[in-house]
Homo-oligomer: A and B are copies of this chain.
Amino acid sequence: MTQTLVSSHKKEVIIGFDQPFCVIGERINPTGRKKLAAEMAAGDYSTVEADTLAQVEAGANMLDVNAGIPLADEPAILAETIKLVQSLVDVPLSIDSSIVEALERGLEVYQGKALVNSVTGEEERLEVVLPLIKKYGAAVVAISNDETGISEDPDVRFEVAKKIVHRAADFGIPACDVVVDPLVMPIGALGQAGVAAFRLIRRLREELGVNTTCGASNISFGLPNRHALNAHFLAMAASNGMTSAIMNPLHQEEMTGIMAANVLNGVDTNCARWLRQFRAPPAAGSQEEARHERRRRRV
């Protein structure tokens, strides 16, 4: 049973087939968030702080941290952000950058075993990112595209993932430390994007034995009622073996989908999380209410 262990200085999280789905909060990312980008570039981390606390409060099991701001000193800002986030919360982090120097600076300051987001199947990337993963004993998100781009054929994407897993092994990184992103396409443009993703996720689990993750909201791009589509996509993907997603934990519908999938996949023991979230407060007139009422009157 494949298990990817990631950790902070205080907490371990296991991504695995027999574990509750791992929600990786996506909010700490200035891409497309002009105000946040300007703040981070100016050394103002107030929004980062708020996003950190809100995501963990909403149930994120890990947080992705990205500092990709044009013309800014990304390695320095990423390191600073990681230090700040680790001072605020216990959850392990995913260190997210397309710049190798930023990944390394992030890994240098990170306390624990990080998830690095990401490496692709491009030779040039494999050669520089995998040694870093090995050096810092991290885990890595492997994106199933290569020099030829993103194939629409899920079998080609499977082969790219397989190549990355094999190359990682050459560097001494076990398959359990490679979390594959099968690349989810917008279903509004590509009607078979869902079944392609589900089939690929199942093959990655059954044939390669790896954990999987994805940017879930891409599936619903351009369509109405996106939250409902995302929520059911997440549950269906989890049913086919997907074990984590990079997503917005502040979206309640998606989180309900994840919680339902955990119940239905038998990894929410005694439905405890579900009951905690949704059990109605005791009705008026119930014993508990009555006790409370007696206590209140005594005051």
A111 at the interface (CB under 8 A from B): no
Q: Are A224 and B280 in contact (CB under 8 A)?
A: yes
Q: Within the complex, which residue of B188, B239, B256, B280 is in contact with A271, where a contact is CB–CB below 8 Å?
A: B188
Q: Are B224 and A270 in contact (CB under 8 A)?
A: no
Q: Are A264 and B223 in contact (CB under 8 A)?
A: no
Q: Are A264 and B236 in contact (CB under 8 A)?
A: yes
Q: Are B231 and A232 in contact (CB under 8 A)?
A: yes
Q: Which residues of B contact A233 (CB under 8 A)?
A: 260, 264
Q: Within the complex, which residue of B198, B223, B236 is in contact with A275, where a contact is CB–CB below 8 Å?
A: B223
- Most chain B CB inside 10 Å of its own CB: which residue of A188, A235, A264: A264
Chain B nearest CB: distance from A282 CB in Å?
13
Q: Are B280 and A187 in contact (CB under 8 A)?
A: no
- Most chain B CB inside 10 Å of its own CB: which residue of A224, A257, A260: A260
A266 at the interface (CB under 8 A from B): yes
A174 at the interface (CB under 8 A from B): no
A-to-B contact residues, CB < 8 Å: 187-188, 191-195, 198, 219, 223-225, 228-229, 231-233, 235-236, 238-240, 256-257, 260-261, 263-266, 269-271, 274-275, 277-280
Q: Within the complex, which residue of B194, B198, B225, B260 is in contact with A232, where a contact is CB–CB below 8 Å?
A: B260
Q: Are B191 and A270 in contact (CB under 8 A)?
A: yes
- The complex is assembled from copies of this chain, and their number is 2
Q: Which residue of B lies closest to A224 (CB)?
A: B278
Chain B nearest CB: distance from A198 CB in Å?
6
Bound state CA distance, A188 and B270, in angstroms?
7
Q: Which residue of B lies closest to A237 (CB)?
A: B239
Q: Which residues of B contact A192 (CB under 8 A)?
A: 266
Q: Can you spell out 27 A-B residue pairs with CB atoms less than 8 angstroms apart?
A: A187-B263, A187-B266, A191-B266, A191-B271, A194-B264, A195-B265, A223-B263, A223-B271, A223-B274, A223-B278, A224-B274, A224-B278, A225-B277, A225-B278, A228-B256, A229-B263, A229-B264, A229-B274, A232-B256, A232-B257, A232-B261, A232-B264, A233-B264, A235-B235, A235-B236, A236-B238, A236-B264
Q: Are B194 and A265 in contact (CB under 8 A)?
A: yes
Bound state CA distance, A104 and B214, in angstroms?
52
Bound state CA distance, A271 and B187, in angstroms?
8
Q: Which residue of B lies closest to A253 (CB)?
A: B228
Q: Within the complex, which residue of B225, B261, B265 is in contact with A274, where a contact is CB–CB below 8 Å?
A: B225
Bound state CA distance, A161 and B260, in angstroms?
28
Bound state CA distance, A103 and B229, in angstroms?
40
Q: Which residue of B lies closest to A257 (CB)?
A: B232
Chain B nearest CB: distance from A214 CB in Å?
13
Q: Within the complex, which residue of B231, B240, B275 is in contact with A224, where a contact is CB–CB below 8 Å?
A: B275
